[in-house]
Structure 1
Amino acid sequence: MSSSADERKGSATMTIQLYAHPFSSYCQKAKTALYEKGIAFEEKMLDGSEPNAGEFAALWPVGKFPVAVDDGQLVFEATGIIEHVEARFPDAPRLIPADPLAAAEVRMWDRFFDNYVAYPQQRLVYIAIGREHDDGGDRWRAALDTAYALLNERMRDREWVAGDFGLADCSAAPQLLYADWSHAIPETYAALRAYRARLLARPSYARALDEARPYRHFFPLGAPEGRD
């Protein structure tokens, strides 16, 4: 399987190979950034079939995706891939501000979504499929409740989480999608729910999300109707 986005006028020619699966939140995060910046890439589907699976295993024995290869250089982790393409293609639209303090804030919120939204959400999935055993997931739902409350307050007077749409929002889009599926964002959190809706409607993420739709039956907790 391959996907590509037209390069922006004036950008250098480049084709990145992205080893990924469309249903992975971290792969969606990386793809959103590539689509947002208009960078051409070839998606190497990791569905267990050869030759992509063999290539991926040889490239990255750790076995976690996404992984990108850019002109022979291995780039791993979604945030690492976004940092890489931002450095390679610093022209608009920027996903990490040029100002160091603004960039630090964006990077900080990127880590928030990966560590305090994605992590507890994934624990709920692992419990559902029997990979982890604890109190039934209460502590992870409580962790998401804490993150939701903080984010709802943060988003009361903001369109995006830190300045213009950027790295942190690329993380927020898939992480909030799956978090809400796993433990619903309360109806009373209007600001957070509106932010999630804006993320899902962003053309770059909407494209990545559409590519994931055929795989929704894989979600162990069930993909609820009307929350995508």
Structure 2
Amino acid sequence: MSLTLYFHPFSSYCQKVLIALYERGVPFEKVSVDLGDADERAALARLWPVGKFPVLRDEARGATVPESSLIVSYLDRVHPGPAPMVPGDADAALRVHILDRFFDSYVMTPMQKAVADNFRPPEARDAFGVEEAKGHLAKAYGIIEGELGDGRTWA
């Protein structure tokens, strides 16, 4: 199989890539990475030195593509589906990119912080960081309601 996705099923960033792959019907292999395992962390770092997922490996093209938004763009160009994930129209594409960055930076990052804190031992939890993340999420949700709450059906 040409495409291999290195991911974790609980990662929202990986979910974005999975949607793009499934929408295209492109065959791919999934490799779930346990960052708690030193060998798996090292294997991921050999693919992408930052050591974060998702990472897509395309053996047929000799390409390693990190980061969810980059992977989606790569798939649009190299493995196009019935409809592009990013529209061809410049204004529509800009809106998609703005929303993509907004969700990654202002929704998913603080959400991941709050979720990850629950996996820490009680003495290592970050109550201040979680409260800060909740504040960022509340602000982001208000912005989203203003941007997306226009009566359109989104799914």
Is the TM value for this pair above 0.5?
yes
**Contact 1:65/1:77 (8 A) holds in 2:** yes
Bigger relative CO (Cα 8 Å, ≥ 6 apart) = 1
The correspondence for 2:83, drawn from 73, 93, 96, is 93
Q: Give, as a single letter, the amino acid of the residue that structure 1 aligns with 2:77.
A: A
- Secondary structure of the equivalent of 2:6? strand
User: Are positions 1:42 and 2:29 aligned together?
Assistant: yes
TM-score (ref. length: structure 1): 0.57
Which 4+ runs in 1 deviate beyond 6 A?
Answer: none
**Contact 1:126/1:132 (8 A) holds in 2:** no
2:96 corresponds to:
106
Cα distance in 1 for partners of 2:113, 2:10 equals 17
- Secondary structure of the equivalent of 1:43? strand
Q: How does 1:128-147 map to 2 (within 5 A)?
A: 128=118, 129=120, 133=126, 135=128, 137-147=130-140
Deviations 1:17-64 (A, max 9, x none): 1111212211111111100111111112213486x6554332222210
- Secondary structure of the equivalent of 2:57? strand
Q: How many residues align?
A: 147
**Contact 2:117/2:130 (8 A) holds in 1:** yes
- Secondary structure of the equivalent of 1:135? helix
The correspondence for 2:18, drawn from 31, 37, 55, is 31
**Contact 1:17/1:44 (8 A) holds in 2:** yes
1:152 corresponds to:
145
**Contact 2:4/2:56 (8 A) holds in 1:** yes
Report the CA distance shift for 1:54/1:115 in structure 2 as closer, same or farther (over 3 A): closer
Q: Give, as a single letter, the amino acid of the residue that structure 1 aligns with 2:22.
A: Y
Cα distance in 1 for partners of 2:79, 2:141 equals 33
Q: Give, as a single letter, the amino acid of the residue that structure 2 aligns with 1:24.
A: S
Deviations 1:172-217 (A, max 9, x none): xxxxxxxxxxxxxxxxxxxxxxxxxx4xxxxxxxxxxxxxxxxxxx
RMSD of the TM alignment (CA)?
Answer: 2.4
- Secondary structure of the equivalent of 2:99? helix
1:177 corresponds to:
none
Cα distance in 1 for partners of 2:134, 2:32 equals 32
Report the CA distance shift for 1:40/1:132 in structure 2 as closer, same or farther (over 3 A): same
Cα distance in 1 for partners of 2:2, 2:33 equals 18
- Secondary structure of the equivalent of 1:81? helix
Report the CA distance shift for 1:60/1:102 in structure 2 as closer, same or farther (over 3 A): same
- Secondary structure of the equivalent of 2:30? strand
Q: Runs of 5+ in structure 2 lacking a partner?
A: none
1:164 corresponds to:
none
- Secondary structure of the equivalent of 2:149? helix
User: Are positions 1:61 and 2:55 aligned together?
Assistant: no
The correspondence for 2:114, drawn from 118, 121, 124, is 124
